[in-house]
Structure 1
Amino acid sequence: MAEKEKKQSVQTIQTKTRVEKGKSGIASVIFGRTGIIILLILLQVGFLIAGYTYLQGKMYFIDSVVKAAAVILVIYLTNNRSNPAFKMVWMTIMLVAPVFGVLLYIFVEFQVGVRWLNARLEHMHEMTKKHWTQDEAVQEQLKEEDSEVASLAHYVCEYGGFPAYENTGVKYFSCGEDKIEELIRQLEKAEKFIFMEYFIVAKGYVWDRVLEVLKRKAAEGVEVRFMYDGTCTVSLLPPNYPKKLEQEGIACRVFSPIRPALSTHQNNRDHRKIVVIDGKVAFTGGINLADEYVNRKIRFGHWKDTAIMLEGDAVRSFTLMFLEMWNVAKSEKVEEFDPYLDVIYEREKHSGEGFVIPYGDSPIDGEHVGKMVYMDILNTSKRYVHIMTPYLILDNEMMTALKFAAKRGVEVIIIMPHVPDKWYAFVLAKTYYNELLDAGVQIYEYTPGFVHAKVFTSDDRKAVVGTINMDYRSLYLHFECAAFLYENSEIPAVENDFQETLKKCQKITQEDYKKQKSFDKIAGSILRVFAPLM
């Protein structure tokens, strides 16, 4: 009896502790930097709404002029080159609330921050164009082996600036735990420089281990540069964190810190995950530097993620991608890249390495490389296309490509999370299920938890591993990166991981779709109207 009371007492203490921690966490959000940012943004939204109400209710002439402007803007949107889904959202807003819609559209279109960033990137590409050169011998070899893949390589190089390479070894990681262990091993080998760029960095086991190596390497004289996205400044890392790292000898920059001001520029996040070591080894994939990615912190059940490591010629593109973003992050003179590209790395060429095309995607250059690579795989597949993605928010073109591939007899399987990280994104994704299932696309949900992997495999010959989700944010709004593999010996490992993951999934049927809660169906349908802006 005494033992039972003791257990109950311990449970009571644990419950109180959790409640107190929860209250403390909520308080830190409300009264901390995050709360201030949210409050200031809400105040700006309030001023916009108040101004809209004033104009609509008091100034009838201006109201009429703005309504006429709405009609002109609708005609303009109909004839411009933007994605039809984005056009539909703006037209809906303008027709429902002309004054507010017109003012909001003008506000969004004339963002100084976006224009500055675009100009900076264009200047950067012009200065570094000499480095983005395609080896003609590699291109000719690719043409001989597969004209379709050669055409894709031509597009990625011509319109994205990213060459195809041979002489590159690939290692695939089917979980965050293995990737982090290999990352630590490779960081320990660094002799000249370490470049790291991540979307999420959170204090804990993973970051502590990585940081310990970075500090030690910096002390040894290795040049260490670390860059992370500004979303981390809201709640994960303090605003003065770059200075703390610089005191340890680590150069640090934050891409687009979140500021308490309404701006579409803040919507363009650096979602990439890149590590380059001495110009010889590179990592990318879905895995960030936080404990949930190695399942030491449980948030949404088991966290399934993937990554790859490259060794050889293709590392050059990831070095360039990092250096470009590093130099965009601050408005100063662009540095010389040559010292980091003139890497002498002698390695034996192995059979079965095939071709590797690392590539990035920018939200402001008008070219959606990540989307086009995915669509090319769907449109040229012969037997199967297997996909892992955490989000499924599709435009008409991607929906058509998925459905057409299935309709012409290709096995199209998509693995989604069963335990979502964002409720609204999950109910929105389900609005696409019915149409995809009708066309023969198979959808599975990973029952142990959350899938964060971004993986395509096709016909045992092609694979993509990177940071690009199948949603509007990744395909249109974020800076992203990935690696396309063709006839590489590691592709079977990617496909085998897909099959092993599939064994832990439940197949979604039309009946499952119908069993959704009515509220979720209604919420998803409403959210789909605004999906391009989410």
Structure 2
Amino acid sequence: MSKKRTVERKTAIKNSIGRIIIFGLFVLAQIVGFIVLLYFLGNKYPPIDIAVRVLSVIVVLGINSRDHSGAFKLIWVIAILVFPVPGLLFYVLNNFSSSKHKIKRRLAKVDLMVFSHLNHNDYLYDAMRKEDPARASNAKYLRNFNFPIYDKTDIKYYPVAYDCYKEQIEDIKKAEKYVYLEYHAIETKEAFEPLHEALKERAAAGVDCRVLYDDVGSFTFISKAFVKLLESEGIKCNAFNPAYPILSLFMNNRDHRKIMVVDGKVGYTGGYNIADEYFNIVNPYGHWKDNGIKLTGPAVQSLTAMFVEMWNFADLKSKDDNMLMFEPMDIEPVPGAGGYCVPYCDSPLDNEPTGENVYLNMINNAQDYCWFMTPYLVLSDELARALQIASKRGVDVRIMTPGIPDKKFTYHVTRSYYNMLVTSGVQIYEYTPGFNHTKTCICDDKCAVVGTINLDFRSLYHHFENAVYMFKTDCIMDIKEDFVTTFDECRNVTEKYSKRPNVIVRFLKSILRLWAPLL
């Protein structure tokens, strides 16, 4: 790496830190300004204070009647009743902002333009239903939200993220028409270099290369100068939901998806971003455990559609006639590829927790075992109850979490759920070598999910996510083997957390879990 590039990166990091500080100060100033103004008006004009309190009660009653998770209701009710002015302010911004409704309408319009072109292959649902009605119901649920069922798609599972990443780079080198990349975080360091070189070479050859990254996820990684460099090389770049120092709760909704598509024929997804720590080039949290999958065949069309959706949604400057178009292709089936798969995505703007519901269906239909790998365990009441009931009816329920955390506060919240789970028979494993970032579920040697969706509120309710639901695909047993091998590297902490904690610990846990909907 050249000395010039090193200096540029250090400068970019300093600029990013400065941007974060300025951004935070501007937003904080707006929040404080609003609150002070309302308190001042309330003190000077008593009718305003009375109106705020009456409105607080009305809003709380409205929250209680809404079809939301109990944890969400609780935190809003406490915030509004204890701190009426800021509580009401944030609630109104989150639920009644005209800008957020405008954003929802834009996404709905883009979705209609993209997903309406997918062939839904309903005959495959009928075939799957004959094999296993319970597992077919999950595919049917996804089909009802415009995610088709596919067969004859080869899916290769990579238990080591770096192995999957190297295969990605080789496939980029073979691209003839386009390469689409969408990642939450892209770090312009050592891991990115070979991918950058491959993209630059293909772009020079006339291939349409596009990179979509989340602006907050890549806040300290990607500078404007580097984006200009990529664009000068013919690589189109787009930042999702750019962070501006303006008070808006949509800033909380980030693009957490990880997708790469080459020519509509080969696609990748999994848990890792493009940054050094994901491939153990650096080890800030011990060994980083992550995975990925490669899809070859018809199902790649859905991954392509997901990228096109988010590219157009993020590209606010484009008119309808300048949007990136999704054109369905007749992708050649892969002979001998068994099973069925449904690539799907989730949005925080449609009031449908798709990712959570897929997990719930898998847990509820499990007969022998249901295993999870997740970096964070911050459960909704619905998921916690489903896991407990499954264990009580004899299902082997196991959850693997990190041994070394990347966020200590979230780790304390994660551990606060252990006791309620293990007392119902759920087993908890912590990945001793370091940080487990994998987001994977497998049940009964029959079905599995690999993707970006953690068992936490941020993934299930706040972020844009994606994953692949698989039934009897050839890689299912490879996924199980990875679980079994990794369990051997973990410590089983089930017994440690099986005893009822004392009153003080229970009180502290309840305080921690109040913040769960924000994590």
Matches within 5 A, 1:110-149: 110-149=96-135
Q: Are 2:224 and 1:246 aligned? A: no
Letter matched to residue 117 of structure 2? H
Q: Are 2:464 and 1:479 aligned? A: yes
Letter matched to residue 245 of structure 2? P
- Is the radius of gyration larger for structure 1 or structure 2? 1
- Separation in 2, partners of 1:506, 1:437: 14
* CA 516–39 in structure 1, closer or farther in 2 if over 3 Å, else same: farther
Does structure 2 retain, via aligned residues, the 8 Å contact 1:300–1:449? Answer: yes
Q: Cα RMSD between the aligned structures? A: 2.4
Question: Could you tell me which residue of structure 2 aligns to residue 76 of structure 1?
Answer: 62
- Alignment partner of 1:49 out of 35, 49, 62: 35
Letter matched to residue 50 of structure 1? V
* CA 380–337 in structure 1, closer or farther in 2 if over 3 Å, else same: farther
Matches within 5 A, 1:264-343: 264-331=249-316, 332-334=318-320, 341-343=327-329
- Separation in 1, partners of 2:16, 2:164: 36
TM-score (norm 1): 0.90
Deviation at 1:388, TM superposition (A): 0.2
Letter matched to residue 101 of structure 1? G
Deviation at 1:161, TM superposition (A): 1.1
Letter matched to residue 349 of structure 1? P
- Alignment partner of 1:226 out of 200, 211, 219: 211
Once the two structures are superposed, what CA deviation does each residue of 1:147-194 show, in whole Å capped at 9, x if it has no partner? 122222111111x21011001000001112111111111111111110
Letter matched to residue 317 of structure 1? S
| Deviation larger for 257-266 or 369-378 | 257-266
Deviation at 1:322, TM superposition (A): 0.4
Does structure 1 retain, via aligned residues, the 8 Å contact 2:69–2:381? Answer: no
* CA 344–99 in structure 1, closer or farther in 2 if over 3 Å, else same: closer
Once the two structures are superposed, what CA deviation does each residue of 1:347-384 show, in whole Å capped at 9, x if it has no partner? 54205x20011000010011111111100000000100
Question: Could you tell me which residue of structure 2 aligns to residue 11 of structure 1?
Answer: none
Question: Could you tell me which residue of structure 1 aligns to residue 240 of structure 2?
Answer: 255
Q: Percent identity?
A: 39
| Deviation larger for 256-265 or 431-440 | 256-265
Matches within 5 A, 1:186-205: 186-205=171-190
Letter matched to residue 83 of structure 1? S
Gaps of 5+ in 1: 1-20
Question: Could you tell me which residue of structure 2 aligns to residue 488 of structure 1?
Answer: 473
- Separation in 1, partners of 2:504, 2:410: 14
Deviation at 1:204, TM superposition (A): 1.2
Deviation at 1:513, TM superposition (A): 7.0
* CA 493–394 in structure 1, closer or farther in 2 if over 3 Å, else same: same
* CA 303–30 in structure 1, closer or farther in 2 if over 3 Å, else same: closer
- Alignment partner of 1:358 out of 343, 362, 367: 343
Q: Partner of 2:496: helix, strand, or coil? A: helix
Does structure 1 retain, via aligned residues, the 8 Å contact 2:79–2:87? Answer: yes
Matches within 5 A, 1:490-509: 490-509=475-494
Does structure 2 retain, via aligned residues, the 8 Å contact 1:279–1:341? Answer: no
Does structure 2 retain, via aligned residues, the 8 Å contact 1:30–1:36? Answer: no
Question: Could you tell me which residue of structure 2 aligns to residue 102 of structure 1?
Answer: 88
Letter matched to residue 170 of structure 1? I
Once the two structures are superposed, what CA deviation does each residue of 1:461-515 show, in whole Å capped at 9, x if it has no partner? 1110000000000000100000011001110000100111100101113535779
Does structure 2 retain, via aligned residues, the 8 Å contact 1:327–1:334? Answer: no
- Alignment partner of 2:201 out of 212, 216, 231: 216
The structure that is helix-richer by fraction is: 1
Find runs of 4+ consecutive structure 1 residues off by over 4 angstroms: 24-27, 335-340, 512-524
* CA 342–395 in structure 1, closer or farther in 2 if over 3 Å, else same: closer
Deviation at 1:138, TM superposition (A): 1.2
* CA 522–246 in structure 1, closer or farther in 2 if over 3 Å, else same: farther
| Deviation larger for 161-170 or 254-263 | 254-263
Q: Partner of 1:483: helix, strand, or coil? A: strand
Q: Are 2:160 and 1:175 aligned? A: yes
Deviation at 1:340, TM superposition (A): 5.4
Q: Are 2:419 and 1:462 aligned? A: no
Does structure 2 retain, via aligned residues, the 8 Å contact 1:233–1:239? Answer: no
Does structure 2 retain, via aligned residues, the 8 Å contact 1:273–1:467? Answer: yes
- Separation in 2, partners of 1:399, 1:299: 31
* CA 347–143 in structure 1, closer or farther in 2 if over 3 Å, else same: closer
Equivalenced residue count is 510
Letter matched to residue 279 of structure 1? G
Q: Partner of 1:450: helix, strand, or coil? A: strand
